[in-house]
Amino acid sequence: MKSSRPALIAASAALAAAAATATGASTATGESAPPQIVAPDGMGLVWSDEFDGDTIDPTNWTFDIGAGGWGNGEAQYYTDRPENARIENGALVIELRQEQFEGSYYTSARLKTLGLREFQYGRIEARVLVPRGAGTWPAFWALGADFDPTSSDPARQWPHVGEIDIMEHVGREPDLTFGTIHGPGYSGAGGLSRWNRRDHDIADDFHTFAVEWDADGIEWFYDGESFYEIGPDDLGGRDWVFDHPFFLILNLALGGTFGGNIALDLEFPLRYEVDYVRVFQEPT
């Protein structure tokens, strides 16, 4: 990662610029962005979902279903219904709806590549449009692929499997995104995180979020601009748990300990749109 960083940044900036030129500022949709995939120097595309089919590809994605707060007191019930997750105009749409459903008052979706696609190292990138409004909590993140909450082996449970939060945004902080890792001794509110404060509302337009990850560490990018880097030597002796395969997660949560109070003026349904997810790696 370290030796090739300048070239990677240049490639990322070029990609962001190309995307901006192709889509315009206010009319951006997934459909209007041509599938012009520019690999970072020294890497090739190993997998992507451009969300350009008619339905969500079951060879890439499966669903987490249900309520119960997901460990953070969240308000939504996750379903796999098209009302909550579908393909529309070349983008994955995760739709947060206000409706009574199985004892909850809101529905949404959480998609994951668990058991289908897993990756160790490389550049993992998504181009997304987050919803607007306090209480919303869209995310693009990764968990260790050996994650099994039913296992009695602590090594297969969170946070020992490791968590990489490539993008988190909470609507109560409209100009802010977060990059974070969680592991043993640095989980939950103790996650190792960096605030990415901007001069615009994140929900104003599509943005690209990425990490570049190898054995030396993980580096976060917002529209091609690096804002955080952390590695095994930065943990104060705590375990680095990121040298194994991870799966990817896309979800839109509401409320809870991180999402915060749900604004009374939210305009439902709320949409979290994902133009693409791409993974680039160096040739093996």
Q: Is 125 in the site for Ca ion (CB under 5 A)?
A: no
Asked if 118 is an active-site residue, the reply is: no
3-class SS letters over 59-94: CCCEEECECCHHHCCCCEEECCCCCCEEEECCEEEE
Q: Is 223 in the site for Ca ion (CB under 5 A)?
A: no
Q: Is 49 in the site for Ca ion (CB under 5 A)?
A: no
141 strand-pairing partners: 165, 249
Q: Is 90 in the site for Ca ion (CB under 5 A)?
A: yes
Stretch in the footprint of Ca ion (CB under 5 A) among 169-177, 195-203, 232-240, 273-281: 273-281
Around 181, how many Cα atoms within 13 Å sit in the side-chain half-sphere? Answer: 26
Report residue 252 as tokens: 């839109």
**Between vectors from CA 9 to CA 200 and to CA 281, what angle results, nearest 5°?**
115
Answer yes or no: are the C-beta atoms of 213 and 144 closer than 8 Å.
no
Closer CB to Ca ion, 165 or 275, in the complex = 275
Answer yes or no: are the C-beta atoms of 238 and 92 closer than 8 Å.
no
Closer CB to Ca ion, 88 or 216, in the complex = 88
Coil, helix or strand for 193?
Answer: strand
Coil, helix or strand for 6?
Answer: helix
Q: Is 50 in the site for Ca ion (CB under 5 A)?
A: yes
Asked if 225 is an active-site residue, the reply is: no
Closer CB to Ca ion, 36 or 284, in the complex = 36
For the bound state, the minimum distance from the C-beta of residue 29 to Ca ion, rounded and expressed in Å, comes to 9
Catalytic residue, candidates 50, 95, 118, 168? 168
Among 11, 30, 142, 278, binds Ca ion (CB under 5 A): 30
- Find tokens 């748990």 and name the residue: 241
Q: Is 206 in the site for Ca ion (CB under 5 A)?
A: no
Question: Per-residue b/e over 44-78, b at no fewer than 16 CB within 10 Å?
Answer: eebbbbbbbeeebeeebbbbeeebeeeeeebbbbb
Residues contacting Ca ion: total by CB under 5 A: 6
Closer CB to Ca ion, 30 or 259, in the complex = 30
Catalytic residue, candidates 95, 118, 125, 163? 163
For the bound state, the minimum distance from the C-beta of residue 90 to Ca ion, rounded and expressed in Å, comes to 4
Closer CB to Ca ion, 50 or 212, in the complex = 50
Among 51, 213, 246, 272, binds Ca ion (CB under 5 A): 51
Report residue 182 as tokens: 């969680």
Q: Is 214 in the site for Ca ion (CB under 5 A)?
A: no
Q: Any idea which residues carry the catalytic annotation? A: 163, 168
Binding site for Ca ion (CB under 5 A): 30, 50-51, 90, 275-276
